[in-house]
Chain A
């Protein structure tokens, strides 16, 4: 009966109930999107890092991986020392650089990674086989498209290009053995990987025995942070960045997005609260006489309160349900806009749906709906019955 009355109260003025639900739905969608935005990038990034399977990244001291052209020398000895560490399982040296391929229409330039095929996390093989010999190369789909070559072809690849002399340097003849997806690069990037020694040789004297990054996998039980601290203490040329530190760094840099998400999410909650509380207040004011009558014929306070609170809950629940769908659609739309970001890994998500976080956010909205009903409900429950009936009779 009480539920009937609550439903009747909501359906009595359909237009405004529908509008309120729509308003709450938009607020819920916004809230959901902002929650998704708040965690999406970080989680995407963590996904990339975890996929690589390395807990530490060693870079020339003071730099971020591939953030500069800085390299570290004496790589062979460095790798040997690291591999001797009992807490370290795998070491993957990487040398980053550029490469050039002559095609009919000119020169195609792209990224070149020198890696150790046994310990690399930069690409995933999609076709062909992995690097086995010094004269082999794994390339991205975009690379094949740009050069017009195919798997199995042999190409001339240069490690440098002297613009003054218009002459390629460090040229090698390489066989395309694999097609890979380079995880940290955009799908449109022309990327290629060759064995580390080949990349070092193609870079000339500048790059001999040098690496840009060393990827380190620590033993399961070992504390990555402790290993990082130990490496930094013993090797002055290196900075060791753990996954957590990298994520912390991301968090710092993503401050803007998280703050934007937080502010907009708060505004959404406030808007939802305001809508529901306004509607419930007005609807209680309209029914104040009916409520006084119910009280007069013996309906308990708690019943009145729960009926009104139920109204707020129904409104916010309906809004949240609609908002869930709406939020997922708008998140996809917004993600589509941000996906055109230049130079972004193709699989990178700005908005990521985490059921736990999403439902917590929508739960918060419903809590706001409950809170929104509390004040008008309390007012209705404590009204002076006789006076209210008298006022209603006058009106």
Chain B
């Protein structure tokens, strides 16, 4: 049972549904003549799409048609593993704060501040909340949120997707349980005659049952090891593929020891249980009936 992929869909859906998500004005870039003092950093995807490289000079304007500034590309950035950006196609351009303020005519305004509290690095989990509360108490015209609250807010989409994947996982587990039980039953049933003959020559029920269960367990063990390898390979392919499609370092599927352990344990348990169920049915049948008379 390969673990279900856990792609992150917030951006996907936001973009797909074209919901009113208001974001800062987009910045458009046009290739132009050299010599400019200010520097910017651009997204590697923009660099690829527009054929830009570090050192190139471009004209940067806040709105289409306005003259803007000549700027030099000083860096090319790769976007972080931020799930909410996964499916967004916009190119991000980073510039110095004052440069953007003057370019967009925003004066001395900012969208938000990031604040690092003193307690945080030393592992004081409550520190950010304390700091946020203190700021909010004396705040004038803005609010402070601890990073954890923001994370909860932005991850609600992912919780939903997670639940969805978990539900699909449950269906998959039910399906594979039935599948395993079915196959074991069939395999054991194929042995009717052998088991009947063994019983006729005097093998004890327990011996026969043990042999059947041992075989089912071995099959489940080998199968789950193969399955784990297959799942790992599938996960690698999924990551490679979607990282290419969405151009993000985000990891879409994760094969952790816990997941492998769960899958192996589950299939072992299912294998043993179905072996016992199928075997018990068989050893309880009269041996004469088993050999076909």
Contact = CB atoms under 8 A, between A and B. Distances in A.
Interface of A: 13, 15-16, 19-20, 22-23, 26-27, 29-30, 33, 41, 45, 60-70, 96, 98, 111, 162-166, 184-185, 236-237, 246, 250, 253-256, 260, 264, 268, 271, 274-275, 278-279, 282, 285-286, 330, 333-334, 337-338, 340-345, 348, 395
Given A19-B185, A163-B142, 13 more contacts: A13-B189, A26-B174, A66-B21, A96-B20, A96-B22, A162-B141, A253-B87, A256-B242, A268-B175, A271-B179, A334-B168, A337-B160, A344-B13
A185 B20 CA distance: 8
Contacts of B151: none
B9 A256 contact: yes
Contacts of A60: 64
Contacts of A165: 141
Contacts, number: 143
Nearest to A339: B160
Contacts of A341: 13, 157, 160
B156 interface: yes
A163 B111 CA distance: 12
A66 B14 CA distance: 11
Given A98-B22, A337-B164, A344-B13, A26 B171 contact: yes
B282 to A, nearest CB: 11
Contact of B18 (A66, A278, A344): A66
Contacts of B13: 341, 344
Given A164-B141, A279-B186, A15 B281 contact: yes
Contact of A260 (B5, B14, B245): B5
A342 B292 contact: no
A312 to B, nearest CB: 14
Interface centre among A23, A68, A96 (most CB of B within 10 A): A23
Interface centre among A66, A236, A237, A268 (most CB of B within 10 A): A66
B123 interface: no
B170 to A, nearest CB: 9
Contact of B175 (A20, A27, A69): A27
B12 interface: yes
A250 B5 CA distance: 21
A264 B167 CA distance: 13
Interface in B1-32: 5, 7, 9, 12-26, 28
Given A70-B25, A163-B142, A164-B140, A256 B12 contact: yes
Contacts of A16: 182, 185-186, 189
B190 interface: yes
A62 B171 contact: no
The 9 closest A-B pairs by CB, nearest first: A163-B141, A66-B20, A26-B175, A164-B141, A19-B182, A23-B178, A253-B16, A282-B186, A16-B185
B181 interface: yes
B219 to A, nearest CB: 13
Contact of A20 (B141, B157, B172, B182): B182
Contact of A67 (B21, B63, B87, B179): B21
A391 B28 CA distance: 81
Nearest to B140: A164
Contacts of B175: 23, 26-27, 30, 268, 271
Interface string B242-268: 100100000000000000000000000
Contacts of A340: 160
A270 B216 CA distance: 22
A62 B28 contact: yes
B183 interface: yes
A282 B18 CA distance: 54
B18 A64 contact: yes
Nearest to A255: B245
Contacts of A253: 12, 15-16, 87
Interface centre among A15, A68, A253, A333 (most CB of B within 10 A): A253
B103 to A, nearest CB: 15
Contacts of B24: 68-69
